[in-house]
Amino acid sequence: MATLKPHEPLLTADEALQRLIDGNLRFLRGEARFPTVQKDILADLAQGQRPYATILGCSDSRVPPELVFDAGFGELFIVRVAGNVLAPEIAGSLQYAGSHLHTPLFVVLGHSGCGAVQAALETQRHGVQHRARIQILIDNILPGLPDPDPQLPPSAQLERAVEANVRWTLHQVLETPEGQARMAEGRMKLVGAVYEIESGCVRFLS
């Protein structure tokens, strides 16, 4: 790992995406390879990190990205925040991953049954105000929520809102000058995904 040249990604964005897909399949089949602490890998990692993907996920305890993607030490650069929102500090972490670590793939990972998105729906529909700092978080989610559809049952409304929230975060990442510059280079990929808690399956959005 120490011999790697800077700016030289280990994988292309598509290869990185395939690795995540394969890892989730191993996880689903009960054939996960990690976590396995290998001493030689730890020694390599002391020289530096070269994660192949950056994940912006939710803090929810049921969605640990390394386990979901069957990834080991040094493979994923992970930012977790309730509702996978893009606050300034989060954007700074992503910028670091792009400009210093050169991860070719960025994934915004939402999940079914997200409590932060549910709380945002309560504010949108019923004007519910949450405790101050929680509400700041919720206010980040509100602009991306679809208009309420009274025909849909609550579970379907939440499902729709979770996906919309992932797309809203993607949209905001793309709006940053850094995001636009990286996309224009054509070597970086930004994708959205939803983890289904019931099945363990990660569904990548088109």
Nearer to Zn ion, 85 or 114 (CB): 114
79 touches Zn ion by CB under 5 A: no
58 touches Zn ion by CB under 5 A: yes
Nearer to Zn ion, 62 or 187 (CB): 62
Tokens in use for 182? 């990286």
163 touches Zn ion by CB under 5 A: no
60 touches Zn ion by CB under 5 A: yes
Task: Report helix, strand or coil for 64.
Answer: coil
**Contact at 8 Å (CB) between 23 and 66?**
no
Best CA proximity match to 197, nearest among 22, 35, 60, 86: 60
Nearer to Zn ion, 114 or 145 (CB): 114
What is the gyration radius of the CA atoms in the chain, in angstroms?
A: 18
Alpha carbon 55 to its chain's center: 4
114 touches Zn ion by CB under 5 A: yes
The window from 52-60, 67-75, 99-107, 149-157 that contacts Zn ion (CB under 5 A) reads: 52-60
Tokens in use for 72? 């080991």
Shortest distance in whole angstroms from residue 167 CB to Zn ion: 15
Q: How far apart are CA 69 and CA 21, in angstroms?
A: 7
The window from 16-24, 51-59, 70-78, 152-160 that contacts Zn ion (CB under 5 A) reads: 51-59
Shortest distance in whole angstroms from residue 115 CB to Zn ion: 6
How many residues bind Zn ion, per CB under 5 A? 3
Q: How far apart are CA 147 and CA 180, in angstroms?
A: 28
User: By the criterion CB under 5 A, which residues form the site for Zn ion?
Assistant: 58, 60, 114
